[in-house]
Amino acid sequence: METVVSGIRSTGNLHLGNYFGALKNFVKMQYEHNCFFFIADYHSLTTHPTPSDLHNNVRQVLVEYLASGLNPEASTLYIQSNVPETTELYLLLNMNAYIGELERCTSFKEKIRNQNENINAGLLTYPVLMAADVIIHKGTKVPVGKDQEQHLEMMRTFANRFNRMYNVDYFPEPFAFNFGEQLIKIPGLDGSTKMSKSDSENSAIFLSDEPETIRKKVMKAITDAGPTIPNQDKPQAVENIFNLMKVLSSVETYAHFDELYNNCRIRYGDMKKQLAEDAIKFTGPFREKIKEISSDNEYLRKVVKIGTDKARESASKTISEVREIIGFKTF
């Protein structure tokens, strides 16, 4: 059994890409490993959300993860800012993190290019906080995508450096959890290969979307003028619609429209209508659960309490051992 740790970006509503890309695996993993899933609200401060946005985003993400099947008894589901031990470890790790290596980090360089007016120290040390998040629980597996590979490498650097500096074998090395072929990549409705909420408002289908919203978004999905030669290749945007159908509709439905495409008799309007109804059916249980959980503040309070207690138990054990290794002593 591995100790799995993963941070969840607290940026509001989750879409089908999030579900198939991460959530679905989290739900499965929680019964197979010792899992810590937390909402990374400290990390979200690098972009300065307003107090009400900060809270609402955290709440919404919590509700949607619960609605998707995360079980607060099976896994440890918590909010990063409720575990102050993480920030202490972050401070300690910062003493052994070199400015040069932090400045060389790709995600930091990207931020300099894209949000030049707000390059704060929190962004520079973002990978240090990530490392603290994981090694505070002595995590060994981190289920993240390719874009986080470099952050994982930095976690290993910081863990190893600590061990070497104090001549201990204390922190294990965390590695990316690789799902390989199992990962289903969900395309966007706007022709992009990856569903994303930032690309365009209509690219993503959210788990919380109302049926009418889903119909509107799907009907606006990008296609083309239609095939003119039998069995011709599908352009990306059309391929995307088919791929969504592969995930959301029945095998027969997919085969039906694929055949129409290959005979050049497809009517995208009909296909989209079908896809919209299947997307509505798929998200239905999520939509209902989200509403139910969101209105139950008592339950949410309980979930947060259970998660905080379990996370702090694990984190405080680590932090007191770390303090001892470093040489903090009581009088």
Rounded distance, CA 77 to CA 71, Å? 8
Q: What is the C-alpha end-to-end distance of the chain, expressed in Å?
A: 39
Least Å distance between CB 107 and ligand TRP?
Answer: 8
Rounded distance, CA 30 to CA 69, Å? 10
Count of CA atoms in the C-beta half-sphere (13 A) of 50: 3
Q: Closest CB to ligand TRP belongs to which residue?
A: 7
Residue 107, classed as helix, strand or coil, is helix
- Catalytic site residues? 111, 194, 197
Name which of 89 and 134 has its Cβ closer to ligand TRP.
Answer: 134
Name which of 134 and 159 has its Cβ closer to ligand TRP.
Answer: 134
Residue ranges that bind ligand TRP, judged by CB under 6 A = 5-7, 9, 40, 43, 130, 133-134, 142, 144
Name which of 41 and 209 has its Cβ closer to ligand TRP.
Answer: 41
Residue that has been written with the tokens 């946005």 in this structure: 53
Burial of residue 164, with CB atoms counted within 10 A of its CB: 0-12 exposed, 13-18 middle, 19 or more buried: exposed
Rounded distance, CA 168 to CA 213, Å? 56
Rounded distance, CA 79 to CA 77, Å? 7
Least Å distance between CB 301 and ligand TRP?
Answer: 24
Least Å distance between CB 65 and ligand TRP?
Answer: 14
Least Å distance between CB 306 and ligand TRP?
Answer: 21
Name which of 58 and 130 has its Cβ closer to ligand TRP.
Answer: 130
* H helix or E strand, kind and range, residue 39: strand 34-40
